[in-house]
A and B are shown apart, each in its own frame.
Chain A
Amino acid sequence: MLSLIPALPLLGFLINACLGRRLPKTVSGGVACLAMLASFAVSVLSVVNVGTPWTEQTLYRWISSGDLQIALQFRLDHLSSLMILVVTGIGSLIHIYSTAYMHEETDGEYARYFSYLNLFAAFMLVLVLGSSFPVMFVGWEGVGLCSYLLIGFWFKKKSAGDAGKKAFIVNRIGDFGFLLGTLMIFANLGTLDFQGVAASVQGGWPVEHSMGTLTIATLLLFLGATGKSAQIPLYTWLPDAMEGPTPVSALIHAATMVTAGVYMIGRNAVLFGHAPITLAVVAGIGVATALFAGTIGLVQNDIKRVLAYSTVSQLGYMFLAMGVGAYAAGIFHLYTHAFFKALLFLGSGAVIHALAGEQDIRNMGGLKKALPITYWTFLIGAIAIAGVPPLAGFFSKDEILWKTFDGGHRLMWIIGLITSFLTATYMFRLVFLTFHGERRHDAPSPETAHGHGAGAHPEEEEPAAHGGHGHGAHLHDAPAPMALALIILAVGSVFAGLVGIPHALGGSNRIEAFLDPAFEAHAVAPANPEFQVVPGRLREDASAGQGRPREDAAAPQTTEAAGGHEAVHEESAGTELMLMALSSGIAVAGILIAMYFWLWNRAASARIARSVAGVYTLLLNKYYIDELYDAVIVRPIEKGSTVLLWRGADAGLIDGAVNGVGKAVRGTSDSVRRLQTGSVRAYAASLFLGVVVILGWYLTR
């Protein structure tokens, strides 16, 4: 049953990949959507029937070599339940949306697009369901491949191809870390199964407060996560990845694949919990990335790039949550973020679609009337991400901020608040510049439609997609499949947060209770006497809403600690409420600021940009990080490769050796061939001389 979940999209991929060229669009799109919907249905069924603590399915023994026994095994617990529902559910919506968005492609391209999309879903589900590191790694690499293929979908455009390569290469660095981390874990723990790792860490390893095995292994794994989830220092590929079709940005680069790193940390909560140094690094990187990307997002002008930086920033929040040990909060934010970020991307896709490929928000404006569905759904998404109660983003983001505050990380909490303010501001800047104000695009109002094909745009971004858009070059709102996806996601963005209403607001934070078992070790090696104590204590901690695994193995003082938590919890509800009010206030303030600058007094924003021109340019150029990487890493490598490896080693040494041998043979032959005079008598003489010499040697020796 579990294997059907990734198998169905894989089947869709096979059909579209093998027969796609000959299928009409309705069939290839229909097959892809059906595969996803069927997978979603199976997922729902599986989640409903999920066993405690999990359901497993072993397909076959994959690798068997000495101590290394790896089964191709899928495991569905509460954490992966949530993930497969997000992947298949939002994946289905994005597939449906794509049938309309991509309809201008030729049949073959259309089928190629859907085959990649299905393949992506299959790999993502393998990643989520895999029960051990190697199986997860298969999915991990597979989604990376699909990401590359889909970013470079319009590969005839050079920037798209380059962006694809950049994503792939940057991810290689992270994947290398992931692989090394995996190897280290196997070398030290002797198992690669997630539960096995959790159990043996729980049973046999103290919490590590120095740079020991677990710390280094988890840091390496985290390097993998920074690559896949676009965190400092490996985030640079994600904004460029916006070269791909917009639904791809929504599915892969916002809702699912980029959250794989967060998921991986959640999956190994026990392991990471035993390495507090790594957790501190995770939280630090997360919050730094959140702020950093938020500031960049404030000034970008490409609608998709703003969203991309926003994604990076929100992923930073999730890592912050993971780093402070609030795993459930991080996964909760992952889940709500999937809704509103997919919604925002799909909304931006609808705008781009309507404007025949225009992506620069300076050329938009006044679209509110023309695109009502897009406008309202986009607005809902923006409010949700800004964190205005009671929409989804508020609950999850607030949960993270509260856990950060509660854990005593005040500085990170403040940075988180600032980022929250920035989030509200840049999202509403986007809304106002795109949908409000006067119309600044040369498009295609109904009267002037003819003659204003896509080619008339100087900043045409997606010629392959919308080149043939001349016929419908008037503003049209999202067609039915797109509208459907937008509306469902908007509903989700409003209500998805309700599963996690915190205790302070009278809710029961069901999501946390639901997820928490997934962050514990369930089976401990029977030889270990601590086994009886540890899991019970963990659950107690979790039910008190204080499941901070960094305390897990601090066995002696636990009873007091747990008892203390209860009392503290009652008191802290008041603080939590205050903080909630504060962060909502900040979100509203952000929106008001955006309103002032970009709706009522646009001149003021320009004035400010001029008055701090240096900062503005710095932000507009993304802190020159790309240039820095280019100067520090790319160009030295290029130079080193050119001078040392190519000219020196390859052309000089290797080619030199090969050519040198040839030359030597040729030179020797050149001189030796003179001996062949063609004169029979000379040959006879040499023969005679040879015989004399040999005989002479034998006689005189």
Chain B
Amino acid sequence: MVPLNYYLVLSGVLFSIGTAGVFLRRNLITVLLSVEIMLNAVNLTFVAAGRYHGTVDGQIITFFVMTVAAAEAAVGLALVIALFRHRETLSPDAYTSLKW
């Protein structure tokens, strides 16, 4: 049996990759994908912890996260399309007019 720590380390690595993607990539779609990676890193932690404790709670919450992630992806992609129609670019730096 794979020890819990392995899962946690993997999850941490995935989460870091996702975070880095959010901050470093200059494409909104990639940013969205990075967010999905972060979410799934968390899911992995939940499932692993659930298995470790011998309960199904982790799996249940993971289902919730997945549904929400699906909805979020739908809305996010719709927003990206709308934004693209507006500015003809997907760089987040182009969308800074909502300030001061």
Binding site for B on A (CB under 8 A): 673-674, 676-681, 684-685, 688
B86 CB contacts on chain A under 8 angstroms? none
B95 CB contacts on chain A under 8 angstroms? 678, 680
B93 CB contacts on chain A under 8 angstroms? 679, 681
Q: Which of A677, A681, A685 has the most CB of B within 10 A?
A: A681
B2 CB within 8 Å of chain A: no
Bound CA span A685–B19, Å: 10
A684 and B100: CB pair below 8 A? Answer: no
Bound CA span A685–B23, Å: 7
B92 and A680: CB pair below 8 A? Answer: yes
Task: Report which of A674, A677, A678, A681 forms a contact with B23, defined as CB distance below 8 A.
Answer: A681
Bound CA span A688–B15, Å: 12
Q: List 9 A-B contacts (CB under 8 A).
A: A676-B100, A678-B96, A678-B98, A678-B99, A679-B93, A679-B96, A680-B92, A681-B23, A684-B22
Bound CA span A684–B19, Å: 10
Given contacts A674-B100, A677-B96, 11 further A-B contacts (CB under 8 A): A676-B99, A676-B100, A678-B97, A678-B98, A678-B99, A678-B100, A679-B92, A680-B95, A681-B22, A681-B92, A681-B93
Tell me the residues in window 59-100 of chain B with beta carbons closer than 8 Å to chain A beta carbons. Answer: 92-93, 95-100
A688 CB contacts on chain B under 8 angstroms? 19, 23
**CB-CB nearest in chain B for A677:** B99
Bound CA span A674–B100, Å: 7
Bound CA span A688–B97, Å: 22
B100 CB contacts on chain A under 8 angstroms? 673-674, 676, 678
**CB-CB nearest in chain B for A688:** B19
Tell me the residues in window 4-20 of chain B with beta carbons closer than 8 Å to chain A beta carbons. Answer: 19
A685 CB contacts on chain B under 8 angstroms? 23
- A342 CB to closest chain B CB, in angstroms? 78
Count contacts on B: residues with CB < 8 A to the other chain. Answer: 11
Counting from the closest, the 5 A-B pairs by CB-CB distance are A678-B99, A678-B96, A678-B98, A679-B96, A673-B100
- B59 CB to closest chain A CB, in angstroms? 25
- B36 CB to closest chain A CB, in angstroms? 15
**CB-CB nearest in chain A for B19:** A688
B19 CB contacts on chain A under 8 angstroms? 688
Per DSSP, chain B at the interface is loop
A673 CB contacts on chain B under 8 angstroms? 100
Bound CA span A677–B100, Å: 7
Bound CA span A561–B39, Å: 114
Per DSSP, chain A at the interface is helix
Bound CA span A681–B100, Å: 16
Bound CA span A678–B99, Å: 4
B92 CB contacts on chain A under 8 angstroms? 679-681
**CB-CB nearest in chain A for B24:** A681
Bound CA span A185–B38, Å: 85
B15-59 vs A: 1/0 string, CB under 8 Å?
000010011000000000000000000000000000000000000
Bound CA span A676–B22, Å: 19
B22 CB contacts on chain A under 8 angstroms? 681, 684
B99 CB contacts on chain A under 8 angstroms? 676-679
**CB-CB nearest in chain A for B25:** A681
Bound CA span A688–B95, Å: 20
Bound CA span A688–B100, Å: 22
B96 CB contacts on chain A under 8 angstroms? 677-679
- B65 CB to closest chain A CB, in angstroms? 17
B97 CB contacts on chain A under 8 angstroms? 678
Bound CA span A680–B27, Å: 12
A680 CB contacts on chain B under 8 angstroms? 92, 95
Bound CA span A677–B19, Å: 20
A676 CB contacts on chain B under 8 angstroms? 99-100
**CB-CB nearest in chain B for A674:** B100
Bound CA span A134–B99, Å: 67
- A676 CB to closest chain B CB, in angstroms? 5
- B98 CB to closest chain A CB, in angstroms? 5
Bound CA span A674–B99, Å: 8
Bound CA span A678–B100, Å: 8
Bound CA span A677–B93, Å: 10
Bound CA span A274–B98, Å: 84
Bound CA span A681–B93, Å: 8
A679 CB contacts on chain B under 8 angstroms? 92-93, 96, 99
- B8 CB to closest chain A CB, in angstroms? 14
Bound CA span A466–B95, Å: 80
Bound CA span A677–B92, Å: 12
- A504 CB to closest chain B CB, in angstroms? 100
**CB-CB nearest in chain A for B93:** A679
- A694 CB to closest chain B CB, in angstroms? 16
Bound CA span A684–B95, Å: 14
**CB-CB nearest in chain A for B22:** A684
- B40 CB to closest chain A CB, in angstroms? 18
**CB-CB nearest in chain A for B28:** A680
A674 CB contacts on chain B under 8 angstroms? 100
A678 CB contacts on chain B under 8 angstroms? 95-100
Q: Which of B19, B92, B98, B99 has the most CB of A within 10 A?
A: B99
Bound CA span A608–B97, Å: 93
Bound CA span A681–B21, Å: 11
**CB-CB nearest in chain B for A670:** B100
- B32 CB to closest chain A CB, in angstroms? 12
Bound CA span A673–B100, Å: 6
Bound CA span A684–B25, Å: 13
B98 and A684: CB pair below 8 A? Answer: no
Bound CA span A684–B24, Å: 12
Bound CA span A673–B99, Å: 8
Bound CA span A688–B16, Å: 11
A684 CB contacts on chain B under 8 angstroms? 22-23
Bound CA span A681–B92, Å: 8
B98 CB contacts on chain A under 8 angstroms? 678
Bound CA span A681–B97, Å: 13
Bound CA span A676–B99, Å: 5
- B25 CB to closest chain A CB, in angstroms? 10
Bound CA span A629–B31, Å: 84
**CB-CB nearest in chain B for A679:** B96
- B56 CB to closest chain A CB, in angstroms? 27
Bound CA span A676–B19, Å: 21
- B73 CB to closest chain A CB, in angstroms? 17
Bound CA span A244–B99, Å: 68
- A670 CB to closest chain B CB, in angstroms? 10
Bound CA span A677–B96, Å: 7
Bound CA span A688–B35, Å: 13
Bound CA span A450–B97, Å: 84
Bound CA span A56–B93, Å: 93
**CB-CB nearest in chain B for A685:** B23
